[in-house]
Amino acid sequence: MPEEKTDAEIDSMLHAALGGLTPHQALLQASLADAAKVDERAAAIAKNRERALRLLEALEKSQG
């Protein structure tokens, strides 16, 4: 009996940790979140590149 109770407790904790989602749904949700982060990172990289190019241009102008 104690093993069955432990299994039920583990199942309950897992269910709570997943926010009521199945493991498959939780994996899909995490995967979609990662994909969104990739887009955010790409946008940040592009913005930083533009800033760096403007800074380089300003430095070149100031030097002559």
Query: What's 58's DSSP letter?
Result: H
pLDDT of residue 41: 92
| pLDDT tens-digit map of 19-52 | 888 888 989 999 998 888 988 899 999 999 999 9
Q: What's the predicted TM-score (pTM) here?
A: 0.48
Structure tokens at 25: 């749904």
Give the C-alpha separation, 4 to 2, whole Å: 5
pLDDT of residue 60: 95
